[in-house]
Chains A and B, each alone.
Chain A
Amino acid sequence: MRIDYKISDKFDFKIFIPVLILTIIGLAAVYSSTLNNPQATDNFERQLLFTLVAYVVFFITYALPTNTFKLISGPSYIFALLLLVVVLIAGKRVSGAKSWLAFGSIGFQPSEFAKIATILLLANFLTRLNNNIDSFKDILISLMIGFIPVGLIMLEPDMGTSFIFISFILIILFWKGISLLGLFVVLSPGFVAIASLFGSVPFIASLVVVLVVLFFFKRDLFFNGSVFAINLAAGFFTDNLYNALSPHQQARIKSFIDPMSDPLGSGYNSIQAMVAIGSGGLFGKGYLQGNQTQLQYIPEQWTDFIYCAIGEEFGFIGAMTVLSLFLIIFIRLLNIASTSKDEFLSIVVIGIFGVYFTHFLINVGMVIGILPIIGVPLPFVSYGGSSMLLNMFMLGIVLNIFRTRKNYA
């Protein structure tokens, strides 16, 4: 029945081609947005080099024996934690966050590497469980694997990356089969924490909601009591955390709660980004013709706001093309994850999906003004060596798993 008659059976073009197109669009957009900026004159050349290196890494990863990933999961996780500690001590501070390790002129973000390391170890741990994760202990261990790097990253502090971690950890747990109650236990503190940001009335209301839900799960008093205590702690902890945040991060949270509170400060980027995209119209202003992009209305547009350049210069058509390419990639990843019979590999693919999807969601959502300004890059498109390298590395893992999917059937 199975005949190796095509290269497409070993290499998933349905995911590779969209990524290839995205990296090309990304290079074009980086060129356009750095063209008139004296501080970023060689960024295009650098990005071109990063992309080429990333593709080499991709093909090497693709060709590795598939069981490598399980083998390296433990060591790479420990190595990642080590790097995250080193960066806190010896890292370079860029725009308020200590997230860079500098090697000469080349910088590296350990948090990028920590993503895949965390995915691998979490997948490894969860695969050992034969059944759904329902026990308090299992959830706790899973969360610990996930949240140790999150804690270190929050210390940098890099909120955006922390969000990405929380998001893909939840997606992995969900995929593994966490029960509704388990999901509730994991999610409710976050819910309460966010509610507490809006003031004491929403905070108390959210606690009431938690109590009502707990009542319906009909667990014992001890269980209910501990979950409620965690929620309560989360609410108060958020307040402390908020005060510990740097002023520009506080301002960002404030401007999300009330976007017009500071239109010239933290609201500025959001407004200018929307103006750039909205003014693009159906067909865009033409490549290298977008005045918002070319006149540098958005600071460092080539990183987190690269989607503006595309929306402005290529219009609705261009913006929708990028969306559609991501849609294809996501659906394809989901399919690979669900067709893979090996639980570890399936969880790894879903974790990678989680990383890509959350990046996409937060980045595009913020640029088109429906999510707060949280600085995360758009995968394959934004300028940045570390993220390009790690994204292509993860894609290599996915296509590697696709190549050998029948061996694990």
Chain B
Amino acid sequence: MNAVNFASVSRKTILYSIIILVFAIFSVRLFQMQIVNHEIYDEKSAGNSIKPIEQIPLRGVFYDRNMNVLVDNIPAYTLRITPADYDTSLNKILDKVLGVNPGYVASILKRNQIYSRFIPIRIRRGIDFQIVSWLEENSEFLPGVDYIVEMQRGYPFGVMGSHLFGYTKEISSQQLEKEKDYYRPGDYVGHNGIEKQYEKDLRGEKGFHYVLVDSRRREIGRYKDGAKDKESIKGRDLILSIDGDVQKVAEEEFKGRRGAVVAIEPSTGEILALVSAPEYDLNQFSYITTKDFLQELYSDPDKPLFNRATMSLKPPGSTFKILAAIAALDLGIIDVNTTIYCGGGFTFGRFFKCHGSHGSVNVIHAIEKSCNTFFYNLIYKIGLERWKEYAIKFGFNRKTGIDIGEEAAGFIPDESYYKKLYGENWPRSIMASLGIGQGEVSVTPLQLAKYAALIANDGKSFSPHIVKGYLDNRAGEIVPFHFDEIDLKIKKEVFDVVKQGMFLVVQGSGTATHLRNPEYHISGKTGTAQNPHGKDHAFFIGFAPSENPKIAVAVVVENVGFGGTYAAPIAKKMMDAYLLKDKLKNQKQKDQQPIIAGARVED
């Protein structure tokens, strides 16, 4: 025990062993890291320093059927802040310069706190050029503040199309969660309308530029001089079936009114115009939408965000008489010679009034005069179930499948419905109103337009739609989308009969004779739906030219009164815009020529 331990061999050996052990452990560890797991670390290292920069492609634009641009991309300035370089004491100044509520900049910064401090945050889109020049002048006092030029939606053609086009908006966190393969926070996606429905066509394909970044994620150059970059692919330009002129006329006619109109090309199901009024300004959505603007839209009693064309449900009034006529004729219950006597009303349990005393009328004149008595009788002859069958054939009680998002199915009652409501012995008198489109029946304007188109084209058409196809920019041709064909399999003679009646509504002594014009013939049917909450809703369905229909229209104007007076003239103006397009253009040019000539002289 008392041997001198100093520098003993055993102690030297222990130190040797420790050195060798440490050397061995370090060597094994290096081997494991640099040889065995090299690829894992290599990948991490590459991911560290090579940052993919998303290249957002240009969103596809919308053309109308005449290849006029309806929705375009226009450059706009976006103010950004990079939090790492930014001094929050500038918040107040920026709020003032941007003209926003105090605290706006701070609130956006706070919302983005979860992301890297080195990634710029978009503070406001679409800032004025004055603000941009102010930023330029004061850039040295505004660390971390910059602006970029981005593309935003523009509507150069003067068509509002608020419910048609929809808008683009920053992606919601819920949608981001669902589609995180493609989208990143801050991406803009289509909301509502065509923008939403055709998002995948419109958005194109993102590209990536790979850049080298340092540990603070600052860019310091291109990776391999861009050899690995993937360029973005522009979104598809959509060709809409909309006719800009018709759409514009409809929008103008609906200014200051509530209601909806849908126009369809009968042979194709292509929608020529679709308006829901009141509209709202889509330009407002191109910017980072202010809360005030949204609040205003939500609280407006006229509900401008509500798409009346596809969502509003109302009893269609007398426009539904055609349906009963077709059912009765097709089922052979009546023929063109069958007459019913109208002495000013109809008694079934109680008395149902007609608006006149039409005497003995056949189906053609019943339509012309919109005789209630005829159709009160007819519905009992057809029976509720068979009547509903025909309604469903024409597309009521279900969605049309139009290619813009939200849509209501509407409602057509049947026996089981009344049984549930009133019991086994439900009062059969309820049925009478259905014959004239009143009571428990509810339809959308879009369904009515489809109905009008099917009548116009003798029961054959395509599922109503707004987008015809897209423009293949490389091949320079239009690639069409395909839509379901509709064939009601109803005899042409049946349509011939009801169309005679609809012809006389305008051209005879019917309810819309004021639409008569020297250029072309219009067929139609007016309707007036009683409204317990105020004035009646005015309805009109029709098509023109009567002999070879090119346009079918359904118009609903809320709370104005008689259909022939308020709804029919709007349809007429739209038909003019569509059918007399060249003539109207020439007219316009003639009117404007002197002015243009004058301008040329000045040039």
A contacts, CB < 8 Å to B = 36, 131-132, 171, 174-179, 272, 274-282, 291-292, 295-299, 311, 315-316, 319-320, 323, 327, 330-331, 334, 337-338, 343, 346, 350, 357, 361, 364-365, 368-370
In the bound complex, do residue A278 and residue B23 qualify as a contact, i.e. CB atoms below 8 Å apart?
A: no
A-B contact pairs, 26 of them (CB 8 A): A131-B4, A132-B5, A132-B6, A174-B15, A177-B5, A178-B5, A274-B33, A275-B45, A278-B45, A279-B42, A279-B45, A292-B45, A295-B213, A316-B31, A319-B30, A320-B27, A323-B23, A323-B27, A327-B19, A334-B15, A337-B7, A343-B7, A346-B6, A346-B7, A368-B26, A369-B33
In the bound assembly, the distance between CA atoms of A334 and B212 in angstroms comes to 47
Closest to A276 in B: B45
B96 touches A (CB below 8 Å):
no
B215 near A175 (CB under 8 angstroms)? no
B42 neighbours in A (Cβ, 8 Å): 278-279, 281
Contact A277 B19 (CB under 8 A): no
Task: List 7 tightest A-B contacts by C-beta distance, closest first.
Answer: A278-B41, A177-B5, A279-B45, A316-B34, A278-B33, A291-B49, A297-B215
Known: A277-B41, A295-B212, A327-B19. A315 touches B34 (CB 8 A): yes
Q: Are A368 and B30 in contact (CB under 8 A)?
A: yes
CA distance A177 to B288 in the complex (A): 77
B48 lies within 8 A of chain A by Cβ: yes
**Interface range on chain B: under 10, 10 to 19, 20 to 34, or 35 or more?**
35 or more
B473 at the binding interface (Cβ < 8 Å): no
Contacts known (A132-B5, A275-B44, A357-B19); A280 close to B11, Cβ less than 8 A: no
Chief secondary structure at chain A's binding surface: helix
Pair B35/A281 contact, Cβ less than 8 Å: yes
Which of chain B's residues have a CB closer than 8 A to the CB of A174?
11, 14-15
Residues of chain B whose beta carbon lies under 8 Å from any beta carbon of chain A: 1-2, 4-8, 11-12, 14-16, 19, 22-23, 25-27, 29-31, 33-35, 37-38, 40-42, 44-46, 48-49, 212-215, 220
Q: What is the CB-to-nearest-CB distance from A368 to chain B, in angstroms, rounded to a whole number?
A: 5
Contact call B25/A370, Cβ cutoff below 8 A = yes
B-side binding surface: helix, strand, loop or mixed? helix
> Do A291 and B48 contact each other (CB < 8 Å), given the known contacts A281-B38, A311-B34, A323-B26?
yes
**Given A177-B4, A295-B215, are A338 and B12 neighbors across the interface (CB < 8 Å)?**
yes
In the assembled complex, the Cα of A174 lies from the Cα of B17 at a distance in Å of 14
- Report chain A residues within 8 Å CB of B11: 174-175, 177
Nearest CB of B to A200, in Å: 31
Q: Is the CB of A331 within 8 A of B16?
A: yes
The answer for the CA separation of A280 and B30 in the assembled complex, in Å, is: 10
A327–B25 CA distance with the chains assembled, in angstroms:
13
The residues of A that contact B37 with a CB separation of less than 8 Å are 278
Q: By CB atoms of chain B within 10 A, which of A338, A343, A346 has the most?
A: A338
A280 to B34, Cβ gap below 8 A?
A: yes
Residues of B within 8 A of A369 (CB): 29, 33
Q: Report whether B45 and A179 are in contact in the complex, using a CB–CB cutoff of 8 Å.
A: no
Q: Within the assembled complex, what's the spacing in Å between the Cα atoms of A291 and B212?
A: 9
Is A275 in contact with B38, judged by CB distance below 8 angstroms? no
Minimum Cβ distance to chain B for residue A277 (Å): 6
What is the CA–CA distance of A337 and B6 in the complex, to the nearest angstrom? 11
Given the complex of chains A and B, what is the CA–CA distance between A369 and B31 in angstroms? 13
8 extra A-B contacts, CB within 8 A, seeds A277-B33, A297-B215: A177-B8, A278-B34, A278-B42, A315-B34, A320-B30, A350-B7, A368-B30, A370-B25
CB closest residue in chain B, given A319: B30
A132 and B4 form a contact (CB under 8 A)? yes
Q: What residue in chain A is nearest B1 (Cβ atoms)?
A: A179
Query: Which of A171, A291, A337, A365 sits near B45, CB closer than 8 Å?
Result: A291
Question: What is the minimal beta-carbon distance from B503 to any residue of chain A, in angstroms?
Answer: 78
- A236 to B252 alpha-carbon distance, docked (Å): 85
Nearest Cβ on chain A to B419's Cβ, whole angstroms: 67
- The listed residue with most A CB atoms (<10 A of its CB), out of B11, B30, B46, B214, is B30
Whether A295 pairs with B49 at a CB distance below 8 angstroms is yes
Q: Using A292-B49, A361-B22 as known contacts, say yes or no to A275 and B5 having CB atoms under 8 A apart.
A: no
* Contacting residues, chain A, for B214 (C-beta < 8 A): 36, 295-297
Query: Given A174-B11, A296-B215, does the pair A316, B30 have CB atoms closer than 8 Å?
Result: yes
Find out whether the CB atom of A297 lies under 8 angstroms from the CB atom of B19. Answer: no
Set of chain B residues within 8 Å of A316, measured between Cβ atoms: 30-31, 34-35
* Most chain B CB within a 10 A radius of its CB, from A36, A278, A323, A364: A278
Contacts of A171 in B (CB 8 A): 15
Closest Cβ neighbor of A291 among chain B residues: B49
A108 CA to B33 CA, complexed, in Å: 36
Give CA–CA (A78, B379) in the complex, Å: 118
